Amino acid sequence: MTDTEIQRLIQGETARQHDGLELIPSENYVSDDVLAALGSVFTNKYSEGYPGRRYYGGQEFTDQVETLAIERAKQLFGADHANVQPHSGAQANEAVYYAWCQPGDTILAMDLGHGGHLTHGAPVTRSAREYNFVRYKMKDIATGEIDYDELRHLALEHKPKIILAGFSAYPRELDYGAFAAIGREVGALLMADVAHIAGLIAGGAARNPFDDGFHVLTTTTHKTLRGPRGGLILSRGTVSNPLKAPEKTLENIPTLIDRAVFPGTQGGPHMHTIAAKAVAFGEALQPEFRDYAHQIVANAARLATELQQRGFILVAGGTSNHLILANVHQSFGIDGKTAERAIDAIGLTLNANAVPDDPLPPFRPSGIRLGTPAMTTRGLREDDMPRIASWIRAAIDARDDPDHLATLRAEVRDFCRALPR
């Protein structure tokens, strides 16, 4: 690379990722093949439209790349249709809302403070201005159980067009069957945003909402799925020509979604990213990926137990997936930002996060959120978790002692440099 300024920054980030441990549950390390596809000449190409139906010439190879990505994604999730063009998770969600709802329609989604995501209708978003979001919550924060009675009550009262199951800070498995029964009762589209757990579903370590009758799955491709930054929409139904507007029926969902992505909400697809998605989906179809997905969950379960033994109070009492939400305010009388900074100082990266019904403000919340997908990619197993939990607790205890933090940083660096990547 001739741009030495950017080269220096890439080298710095490479060293940062290598010399520390990534505990942010939405991050991962992609393979060299995924990186190679991302850095390929497909970035030069405009391909508005879909395979076989493009608005520009020269699509001999792009059509094959996108078709491969689509077929692999369908196989991975048992879907009738895959749209691989959403630039990211936010765009995937927006496209589904746009495909199925009119302005003013109601969407029933998980409360943001109880684990839902910003794109599920946070007041600051464009979709919150366009649609009417109603929220369900957990019944019991100590176990994480969703209040399905309240969910049903809200669904009967508000007649939502979409019932949205999905989260970015919820450590338990959802009962998709319960969602589906309520959705059928009120005639809502059943949408699961599996951005966080897509890799677990693909690897058989979490339940696939399609198995309980969901119509649409949205996801990011860069979290547990270990692909490039991007979005993906999977659906059940009949696929037809996206150039013709179909009737708004559940059967036509695939075509409605295609039209909502392009030209509804996006322009030209990022074909280099789609090539990288195809590579990642191919990797996720390999038997080793199943081991990886199960190891993520096993590591998270052990890490949760080890943290509890060191005084951490966990939201939902533990975890059934890849992520852990610890209430450090309740545990140690400090806020999440203070904990995040101390833990970051020793080379473990995680994020401060609100806990349900958090008494502290969003920029200094009560919790920290951490997870095991990235560290599992680096080869860590259950036996490594006591050490990680001890470092996290030690960093919190040493938060006002720079010398001790520096000693811990050196320990973490030595440990990480011995890991494969």
Ligand X SMILES: Cc1ncc(COP(=O)(O)O)c(C=O)c1O
Number of neighbouring beta carbons within 10 Å of residue 251: 14
Report the distance separating Cα 297 and Cα 372, nearest Å: 8
- Confirm whether 176 is a catalytic residue: no
Q: Is 125 in the site for ligand X (CB under 6 A)?
A: no
Q: Which of 166, 199, 318, 336 binds ligand X (CB under 6 A)?
A: 166
By CB atoms closer than 10 A (0-12, 13-18, 19+), residue 156 is exposed
Report the distance separating Cα 86 and Cα 91, nearest Å: 6
Q: Is 117 in the site for ligand X (CB under 6 A)?
A: yes
Q: Which is nearer to ligand X, 106 or 218 (CB)?
A: 218
Hey, which residues does 219 pair with through a beta bridge? 232
What CA dihedral angle connects 328, 330, 332 and 337, to 10 degrees? 40
Q: Is 168 in the site for ligand X (CB under 6 A)?
A: yes
- Confirm whether 170 is a catalytic residue: no
Angle between the N-to-C axes of helices 60-77 and 271-284, in degrees from 0 to 180, rounded to the nearest 10: 40
Please report where in the chains the tokens 């050196």 appear, as a residue: 410
Minimum CB–partner distance for residue 333 and ligand X (Å): 29
Q: Which of 94, 193, 306, 340 binds ligand X (CB under 6 A)?
A: 193
Helix and strand totals (H; E) in the chain: 16, 17
Q: Which is nearer to ligand X, 47 or 93 (CB)?
A: 93
Q: Is 88 in the site for ligand X (CB under 6 A)?
A: yes
Minimum CB–partner distance for residue 384 and ligand X (Å): 26
- Pick the piece of the chain touching ligand X (CB under 6 A) from 88-96, 97-105, 182-190, 369-377: 88-96
Q: Please report the beta strands in 175-319, taking only residues with DSSP state E, as ranges in sequence order.
A: 189-193, 216-220, 231-235, 313-314
- Pick the piece of the chain touching ligand X (CB under 6 A) from 48-56, 82-90, 122-130, 203-211: 82-90
Q: Which of 83, 220, 295, 372 binds ligand X (CB under 6 A)?
A: 220
Minimum CB–partner distance for residue 363 and ligand X (Å): 18
- Confirm whether 98 is a catalytic residue: no
Q: Which of 45, 114, 161, 196 binds ligand X (CB under 6 A)?
A: 196
Q: Is 195 in the site for ligand X (CB under 6 A)?
A: yes
Q: Which is nearer to ligand X, 215 or 222 (CB)?
A: 222
Minimum CB–partner distance for residue 322 and ligand X (Å): 12
By CB atoms closer than 10 A (0-12, 13-18, 19+), residue 24 is middle
Report the distance separating Cα 254 and Cα 267, nearest Å: 18
Q: Which residues contact 313 (CB under 8 A, 6 or more apart)?
A: 326, 327, 330, 331
Tell which residue, 322, 321, 319, has the closest CA to residue 304. 319
Q: Which of 34, 37, 90, 257 binds ligand X (CB under 6 A)?
A: 90
- Confirm whether 45 is a catalytic residue: no
* Active-site position among 172, 223, 259, 369: 223
* Active-site position among 62, 220, 255, 319: 220
Hey, which residues does 353 pair with through a beta bridge? 367
| CA-to-CA separations, 92 to 6, 115, 167, 179, in angstroms, rounded | 30, 19, 14, 21
Q: Which residue is nearest to ligand X (CB)?
A: 89
- Confirm whether 193 is a catalytic residue: yes
Q: Which of 20, 25, 49, 89 binds ligand X (CB under 6 A)?
A: 89
- Confirm whether 22 is a catalytic residue: no
Q: x/- contact string, 41-70, with ligand X (CB under 6 A)?
A: ------------------------------
Minimum CB–partner distance for residue 249 and ligand X (Å): 26
| CA-to-CA separations, 186 to 87, 119, 126, 248, 252, in angstroms, rounded | 32, 23, 26, 17, 19
Site for ligand X in 14-43 (CB under 6 A): 26
DSSP label of 173: -
Q: Is 135 in the site for ligand X (CB under 6 A)?
A: no
Reduced to 3 states (helix: H, G, I; strand: E, B; else coil), residue 45 is: coil
Q: Which is nearer to ligand X, 229 or 413 (CB)?
A: 229
**Where does this chain bind ligand X (CB under 6 A)?**
26, 88-90, 93, 117, 119, 166-168, 193, 195-196, 220
Residues with active-site annotation: 46, 48, 193, 220, 223, 229
